Structure 1
């Protein structure tokens, strides 16, 4: 097996085709990593969530890291890491168009609202949903691919 750098085009293709990622954020020198479903368009990862730890932490520190990978075998895989900035898309006039754009991209996938809309504990019934859309503006994207065999 050998590992090689992926081109920008290969990275974008993998991220565009993917749906599940791992989002890393941090607060007070404490890291936190969670799975998210996303849609990618124009250097932005769009996602959906209910309020909770990751939203609280990203509001406090908008610098995040996201990993998307595809594993065929132990010796054949591709992985892309993105560094970017969290931007909440509140349901306000200013962000309405961007919020609808996020929704239109996400809803193309079955169960697009998972896992962001699910919580491990029972939730109180509310008159309105506290859900929110957000995006990660991708500042940097790098990737590596492992291929069975040797590099020669």
Structure 2
């Protein structure tokens, strides 16, 4: 059976996952990249070093975010969301980073590592912490009862 996820099911999917794909577009180019995230209060929180993604997000803050849960070819859920990128500062930045650490660390194979993704310690304070304010979304699923 194919179907649509309702809002609660989309939120449950967002809360259950911690890796999604962020799509951005600037200067006639589209870029899609996987990110670690945490979902809270109708927003996606993530972090990044400087680079192509951040450059593009600053030029055009309108984004698309996709997350899925795939158990098999015929049992999956997927949601696509649209929203706006916003860099976080000061206390809000610190709180979001703490939330990311708490969400990501239990899902690593090496709990002694932090979610800085090989960014040197002297550059960690320059990490960009951001929020995607979700404005709309849609979700689909496929599920077949075993016979």
Query: Which TM-score band applies after superposition, normalised by the shorter structure?
Result: 0.7 to 0.9
Cα distance between partner residues in 1 of 2:33 and 2:121: 25
Verify: 1:105 aligned to 2:107, yes or no.
no
For the aligned residue pairs, the C-alpha RMSD in angstroms reads 1.9
Secondary structure of the 2:54 match is helix
Deviation per CA, 1:73-123, whole angstroms, max 9, x where unpaired?
10110001110000011xxxxx31211221121011215626xx358xxxx
Cα distance between partner residues in 2 of 1:68 and 1:74: 16
Cα distance between partner residues in 2 of 1:127 and 1:88: 20
Select the residue among 115, 120, 127 that pairs with 1:131.
Answer: 127
Secondary structure of the 1:141 match is strand
Aligned length: 136
Aligned partner of 1:18 in structure 2 is 17
Aligned partner of 2:41 in structure 1 is 42
Q: TM-score if structure 2 supplies the norm length?
A: 0.85
Structure 1, gaps ≥5 residues long: 90-94, 120-124
Structure 2, gaps ≥5 residues long: 109-113
Q: Is the 8 A contact 1:27 1:57 kept in 2?
A: yes
Select the residue among 131, 137, 144 that pairs with 1:148.
Answer: 144
Q: Is the 8 A contact 1:49 1:113 kept in 2?
A: no
- Structure 1 segments, 4+ long, off by >6 Å, are none
Q: TM-score if structure 1 supplies the norm length?
A: 0.82
Deviation at 1:4, TM superposition (A): 0.4
Deviation at 1:24, TM superposition (A): 0.3
More helix by share: 2
Deviation at 1:133, TM superposition (A): 0.5
